[in-house]
Amino acid sequence: MSTHSHENSPSRFSVRARLRSFVFAWQGLMTLLREQHNARIHLLALVGVVGLSIWLGLSAQEWALVLLASALVMGFEALNSAVEYLCDRVEPQHDPLIRKAKDVAAAAVLIAALVAAIIALIIYLPKLLAFL
């Protein structure tokens, strides 16, 4: 059984421990891209978005909004996958509360994706129409 010493007395700051945390987070990113097809689609979309943004010459504020929206979608996708892994460990059998947990986690991705799509329309549509 592990102890919870860090809850009472925080350990001293250590660069090595911070680096380890970064490696774990990187492993999580690799797991996400390897196992979650949605994450691969989002990464591909991000490459497309960056290409389009360079081509259209976005302003600094537009870049910030586009990158923020992309990070929101991908970040929620990661959290959604974490919820899925936890649910599958806790209850592999069909369960109404597990269904709700997974559906609600997926709703977070949906909300971010809808807002990202609206932001994309606001920023890209006028620039694309100007080409016509």
Ligand X SMILES: Nc1ncnc2c1ncn2[C@@H]1O[C@H](COP(=O)(O)OP(=O)(O)OP(=O)(O)O)[C@@H](O)[C@H]1O
Write out the binding residues for ligand X, residues 8-67 only, by CB under 6 A.
38
From 9-17, 26-34, 46-54, 101-109, give the range in contact with ligand X by CB under 6 A. Answer: 101-109
Catalytic choice (35, 62, 77, 91): 77
Annotated active-site residue 77? The verdict is yes
Classified as helix, coil or strand, 75 is: helix
Select from 88, 51, 86 the least CA-distant residue to 66. 51
From 1-9, 43-51, 100-108, 118-126, give the range in contact with ligand X by CB under 6 A. Answer: 100-108
How far apart are the C-alpha atoms of 78 and 32, rounded to whole Å? 7
Decide: 32 and 77 in contact? Cβ < 8 Å: yes
| Contact flag: residue 102 with ligand X (CB under 6 A) | yes
Among 22, 99, 114, 118, binds ligand X (CB under 6 A): 99
130: which 2 tokens? 């100007």
Size of the chain, expressed as the number of residues it contains: 132
Among 94, 130, 131, 132, binds ligand X (CB under 6 A): 94
CA distances from 64 to 7, 15, 83, 109, 124 (A): 36, 30, 28, 20, 14
Query: Residue 35 or 115: which CB sits closer to ligand X?
Result: 35
| Contact flag: residue 78 with ligand X (CB under 6 A) | no
Cβ-based neighbour number of residue 25 at 10 Å? 10
Extract the annotated binding site for a divalent metal cation.
84
Query: Which stretches of the chain bind ligand X, using CB under 6 A?
Result: 38, 80, 84, 91, 94-95, 98-99, 102-103, 106
